[in-house]
Amino acid sequence: MKVVIDEEKCCAAGQCVAAAPDVFDQRDEDGIVVLLNETPGPELADDVRNAAAVCPALAIRVED
């Protein structure tokens, strides 16, 4: 699994951080998503897919 984020689309809602805090964080200055782990393990797959699904800006893409 590989996670790709589009910072240009990110609206700083923070849903990704709530869904998968081991994979996503937010910049302090503007709340834009920060990818902590580009290739999370299988134990985080459900959380990452949920984060992508709840992102209001569709800024997260998951590649298998």
CATH number, domain with residue 35? 3.30.70.20
| Per-residue CA distances from 16 to 41, 58 (Å) | 17, 11
Give the pLDDT mean for 7-19. 97
Number of independent structural domains in the chain: 1
pLDDT at residue number 23: 98
Which percentage of the chain shows pLDDT scores above 90?
98
Bridge partners, 25 (sequence order): 34
Domain span at residue 23 reads 2-63
The predicted pLDDT at position 17 comes to 98
